[in-house]
Structure 1
Amino acid sequence: MNPRERRAARHQPPAPGAPAGPTPRRRRAPITVDQVIDTALTVIAAEGYDALTMRRLAGALDTGPASLYAHVVNKADLDELLIGRLCAGLVLPEPDTAVWRDQIRDVCAQVRDQYLRYPGISRAALAMGPTDLEIVRVSEGMLGILLAGGVAPRAAAWAIDALLLYVAAYCLEVSIVRQRSASEDAAWVFDRDELLRRFAALPVEVFPHTTSHAAELTAGEGHDRFDFTLGVMIGGLTAR
């Protein structure tokens, strides 16, 4: 099979009794799709998502870029494989009408934690039309939770898109902040005390609200703002 046919095959449930995958041609050290994914994640964990190119990945695998295209169609296909691998690590609960909001919040937190393990990888999830079975599994699980909560099907479908988009954007921003704050020259930009001092120095007559509520504007530790935003989004979903 050519790479496109292999990609299509990955997105179909395995038939009963079917072999796990195509038998590699004779080669001393055959490269597998799992090895490509593992190596790509290792590169991202060490250097960030922006460092991952097909050439960089080929170098890490000690092969040429052409060898990669025997397993992945292109960078977009690799992105989907990476997000699919992260989704495979998510634990999806049995939908419960009594605690569905907590359940959907927990799934989003799991996605967040997976993304943050690999700096910038959430960029790969943006503008993706996923067909990877693990990604669809997560979408299916989230849909089941929202439907169990009485959310209308279209609202549930669009809410999943909005929630995952927010999680991806949040993680991307966190990754950028961490990268920038590693520089001594930029550390002050992310210092809360520095922000408070700058807000306090603003002319009150021009910025009355900012000077009065500087503490609130700079408040929040850890994932406090993430939890708040999820609460606002999920709380806005109404039963049909």
Structure 2
Amino acid sequence: MTPTSRRRSTRDRPAKSPLSEEAVVDAALEILKSEGLDAVSMRRVATALDTGPASLYVYVGNREGLLRAMQDRIFAMVELETVDPARWRPQLHSLLDRLRGVLAAHPGIAVTAIAQPPSSEATLRLLENLLGILLAGGLAPQDAAWATDLLAMLVNHAAIEADARHADHRDQADTLYRHFTAQSPDRFPLVTAYAAQLVAGDVEERFHLAVDVVVDGMLARAARR
């Protein structure tokens, strides 16, 4: 190969995009969607970016830092509410639905978020918005603060459950209904009698019920004082 041809092949090769935290997180999210959370590693992300793992440390430090950066990006996708006391409950459902949706769309992230306190800009903005909605709904400050924790657990659980469910919810409910009704009425009289009620409601209805139970419970608790 002549020097001229070597220069031409180098010149014609597409230039790599410059590394940045944004590029690293983009690559990690693509791997998450296509291969799952376990596949997201510094080495795998570096391979996707055509570089070495050491090049990533400047931007995310380690895998834990990479996961935090991914969480921040995902939480920042959630559109916030402009708090309106006249519409606080629909706003609460809308905000939590969007949060549940983005977590369900990024399987595995909800598990990683459970152990992380809301310390980043994106999570603090979500907490601020959620707390504002609950206060607008008439919850006392301490009850509103505790409710944010309970609601966060509900959202994480719902997202993890969505990740675990591979079949259609209705198909699963039908299967469970048949299982309940096939049991012995003598041994399980309530399970067999109320099988339809046990499997009633879709994912959204059950999630909204859980949210309302938390909020209504806090309001009732305050009224008893």
> Into which bin does the TM-score normalised by the smaller protein fall?
0.7 to 0.9
The higher relative CO (CA closer than 8 Å, separation ≥ 6) is in 1
Matched, 1:237 2:222: no
Which residue does the alignment assign to 1:224? 205
Q: Which of these residues, 28, 31, 55, is aligned with residue 19 of structure 2? A: 31
Contact 1:103 1:145 in 2 (8 A): yes
**Which of 37, 46, 52 pairs up with 1:64?**
52
Give the TM-score, by structure 1 length.
0.78
Q: Secondary structure at the match of 2:86?
A: coil
Q: Which runs of 4+ in 1 moved over 4 A?
A: none
Deviations 1:24-44 (A, max 9, x none): xxx964310111111111111
Do structure 1's residue 211 and structure 2's residue 192 form an aligned pair? yes
- 1:113 aligned residue: 101
Q: Which amino acid aligns with 2:80?
A: L
CA RMSD of aligned residues (A): 2.1
Structure number with higher helix proportion: 2
Q: Which amino acid is the alignment partner of residue 104 of structure 1? A: L
- Report the Cα distance in structure 2 between the residues aligned to 1:192 and 1:154, rounded to whole angstroms: 38
Identify unmatched segments of 5+ residues in structure 2.
1-14
TM-score (norm 2): 0.82
Residue aligned with 1:174, SS: helix
Identity %: 39
Q: Which residue of 1 aligns with 2:143?
A: 155
Secondary structure of the structure 2 residue equivalent to 1:236: helix
Q: Encode CA deviations 1:126-170: one digit per residue, 9 max, x unaligned.
A: 110232111111111111111222212222122112111211111
Q: Distance in 1 between matches of 2:16 and 2:47?
A: 18
Q: 2:92 corresponds to which residue?
A: 104
Larger Rg: 2
Aligned in 2, Cα 1:76/1:220: closer, same or farther, shift over 3 Å? same
Equivalence for 2:3? none
